[in-house]
Structure 1
């Protein structure tokens, strides 16, 4: 990293720290205009802010990168993650679609797109996307669990249970899958099995309020 770029990066970080998001954005754009080799370092800065839950800062960084770097699927993928956390489902889905246009077989993008479609209540589309992810990588528990959630929402409870059981075979300590399996069992009036499933979720995650509530319903 050149001393000049180090100085520019420090200026951007200082602007972020002062809450001057527009100023930081201008600095980053200038850095990228002058030297695209700086993109990797700026990308790592975006990941750092995202991990610290400084989502506005991370969003600006990845938006700047997207203006200048067109062939890296990780940039729109991370934008999708941030938009999803912010419950901006439309922008999240557009970002995931852009990532998939660059790399159609990216399983992580497919799984997260499926999760966002569930949040957006488009359960049938979510199921298609998650099935595609599972075809590409059958051993990813999040894909199976999210598929189970979509099936629950579509009232296909027996299939949902099968999907949750597959997720749990891959990740036995998956509290959310145990709880959501309990939801499907409860809908089928298999109340004792549902309670057992909720209790398993709570043994793994004692502060899981939704599992406590669902156990009470059962």
Structure 2
């Protein structure tokens, strides 16, 4: 009831101030009202109205320390740090034990990237403040700026000991634990936090995320469930619960969880995609396809949606349909390497080598430097009889994979196909040194070369008996 009354007074003050601006009548406000009005306008980004309120406030209350501290905030907001510091020094001479002066001084040092000095000032503020939580939170932030995650974590924990409902500090504690790769310690910390604050849906949700991170999916599901019991409209928790249930192969329950997010809000492409994936795992092919189509309808730019449909048809060996969908995807984004690789693979499966070669070339052009992409690309060139281009491409690939037997066997085969015996033997020697068991690459891709007695003699001579 008290809070509602305060809120009402606050809204009345704002309405009264805005009415005064419209009528040009000067009305009286106490200094705290002015402070709230100014901070309100700063929060919503209306700096001009904040300045007007500050000017009027200081005219009516020229000695108000509170208003002068708000003036400091405004000067800092405008990056007028020297003026802000000068005003703070004047205020310090009047009120040397006002913690807000130290907090604002720390803010200025922080803005100047002097974070250690900012921490010193905040430590002094702790001697005078009644709001320990806020100061510990600020110290934690300074340590974050200094990349000292251990001390940042320590201070965010102190903040939560003073005010366990500070959600930003809770998120920051978990962030520090995760950054320090201390997921199990974070889980233990959250257990103690939940003992104090069992109805914190944020804590349960973060706990679920951490359990998921360490692959404890049973406990992850349990934690996300608690988060949804506390807040039955917590979309993020339903999504994460669905992911965890998928990991446990409980696909029908996962679908229920994803469906709940769709009931609560507009369907997201992510939820639709996951429902489709679950239906596919359950063997409900028609339902899976329906949801994959809904995914790309909802978000045509989501590559995972197009990939899901394309891969669905590839698994059915329906290459014509797969090609139809990957072409639709490429019409939307023709610089997506994942699309080009699939375009290439489908054409390869259909023995359309020129199209496949083009697809692999595009995939590499747009940043796919995976070994198999290079090798498939080269194999397509070989099938087309483009041996010299294939060699040039392998030379590019060897920059990324300098000691790769698969590359060397292909280099050997191509050079020997061109009757460049010295170069062929050089690469064959490299290949045998790197992995003699992969001779089958030469046998499968270059049978004519493999059958040459000179090649068999070379392999026998350069293969050490086991």
Fold conserved between structures, TM > 0.5:
yes
- Deviation of residue 103 (structure 1)? 0.7
Residue 99 of structure 1: aligned partner = 193
Where does the alignment leave 5 or more consecutive residues of structure 1 unmatched? none
Alpha carbons of structure 1 residues 100 and 186: separation in structure 2 relative to 1, 3 Å = same
1:110 is the counterpart of 2:201: no
Say whether the 8 Å CA contact 1:100–1:106 is kept in structure 2.
Answer: yes
- Deviation of residue 65 (structure 1)? 4.9
Alignment partner for residue 158 of structure 1, among 244, 252, 255?
A: 252
Residue 130 of structure 2: aligned partner = 36
Equivalent residues in 2 for 1:100-139, closer than 5 Å: 100-139=194-233
Alpha carbons of structure 1 residues 14 and 210: separation in structure 2 relative to 1, 3 Å = farther
Task: Give deviations 1:170-206, integer Å, cap 9, x for gaps.
Answer: 2233333222222212222334433432443444445
Q: Aligned Cα RMSD in Å?
A: 3.6
Give the Cα separation in 2 of the matches to 1:33 and 1:202.
Answer: 58
Alpha carbons of structure 1 residues 99 and 69: separation in structure 2 relative to 1, 3 Å = closer
Equivalent residues in 2 for 1:191-206, closer than 5 Å: 191-206=285-300
Residue 67 of structure 1: aligned partner = 158
Alignment partner for residue 281 of structure 2, among 179, 187, 195?
A: 187
Say whether the 8 Å CA contact 1:80–1:91 is kept in structure 2.
Answer: no
Task: Give deviations 1:50-71, integer Å, cap 9, x for gaps.
Answer: xxxx992497667435336624
Give the Cα separation in 2 of the matches to 1:85 and 1:178.
Answer: 29
Give the Cα separation in 1 of the matches to 2:309 and 2:121.
Answer: 52
- Structure 1 window deviating more from structure 2 (147-156 vs 185-194): it is 185-194
- Deviation of residue 166 (structure 1)? 1.9
Give the Cα separation in 2 of the matches to 1:92 and 1:210.
Answer: 32
Say whether the 8 Å CA contact 1:179–1:211 is kept in structure 2.
Answer: yes
Alignment partner for residue 82 of structure 1, among 175, 178, 196?
A: 175
Larger Rg: 2
Say whether the 8 Å CA contact 2:178–2:186 is kept in structure 1.
Answer: no
Greater RCO, CA 8 A, separation 6+? 1
What's the secondary structure of 2:219's corresponding residue? helix
Alignment partner for residue 56 of structure 1, among 144, 160, 165?
A: 144
Per the normalisation by structure 1, the TM-score is 0.74
Say whether the 8 Å CA contact 1:114–1:127 is kept in structure 2.
Answer: yes
Say whether the 8 Å CA contact 2:204–2:227 is kept in structure 1.
Answer: yes
Per the normalisation by structure 2, the TM-score is 0.39
What's the secondary structure of 2:212's corresponding residue? helix
- Deviation of residue 81 (structure 1)? 4.6
Task: Give deviations 1:44-96, integer Å, cap 9, x for gaps.
Answer: x689x7xxxx9924976674353366242234522345347748433543443
- Deviation of residue 145 (structure 1)? 1.8
Count the aligned residue pairs. 212
